[in-house]
Amino acid sequence: AQTVTQSQPEMSVQEAETVTLSCTYDTSENNYYLFWYKQPPSRQMILVIRQEAYKQQNATENRFSVNFQKAAKSFSLKISDSQLGDTAMYFCASQGGSEKLVFGKGTKLTVNP
């Protein structure tokens, strides 16, 4: 069984600063994928970034990057140069061979002007 844990229910950051959201996971799968999804007030689930577990290089998408520590089963999201539009719920998720996504409880991020 897969589990995903996000230990920070809420976080806040000042505009233009950097913030890191934490995520740990557990899985018995050999091949799996990890994701960060963003859910703004519009409630749309938006894929922010993904990481293939077999790749050692950390994924990067513009201002978003991850720190993937496979041995520690840790997958944190760093948001650089935070913008007001980054205010949202952020969900960490894992996907194994069964293809279903297993989500953490989410972190509510507020970017303050």
Partner 1 sequence: DSGVTQTPKHLITATGQRVTLRCSPRSGDLSVYWYQQSLDQGLQFLIHYYNGEERAKGNILERFSAQQFPDLHSELNLSSLELGDSALYFCASSVHEGGYTEAFFGQGTRLTVV
Q: Which residues bind partner 1 (CB under 8 A)?
A: 31, 33, 42-47, 50, 52, 91, 95, 98-106
In degrees to the nearest 10, what's the CA dihedral of 62, 50, 86, 81?
A: -30
Query: Looking at beta carbons only, is 11 or 101 nearer to partner 1?
Result: 101
Query: Looking at beta carbons only, is 85 or 113 nearer to partner 1?
Result: 85
Looking at the DSSP assignment, which residues form a beta bridge with residue 111?
13
CB of 81 to partner 1, least distance (A): 25
Rounded to whole angstroms, how far apart are CA atoms 10 and 44? 19
Amino acid at 112: N
Query: Looking at beta carbons only, is 54 or 69 nearer to partner 1?
Result: 54
Where do we find the tokens 């844990």? 5
Looking at residue 84, the DSSP 8-state letter turns out to be: G
CB of 107 to partner 1, least distance (A): 12
CB of 23 to partner 1, least distance (A): 13
Number of residues that this document lists for the chain: 113
Query: Looking at beta carbons only, is 57 or 99 nearer to partner 1?
Result: 99
Phi, psi dihedral angles at 62 (to 5 degrees): 55, -115
CB of 75 to partner 1, least distance (A): 15
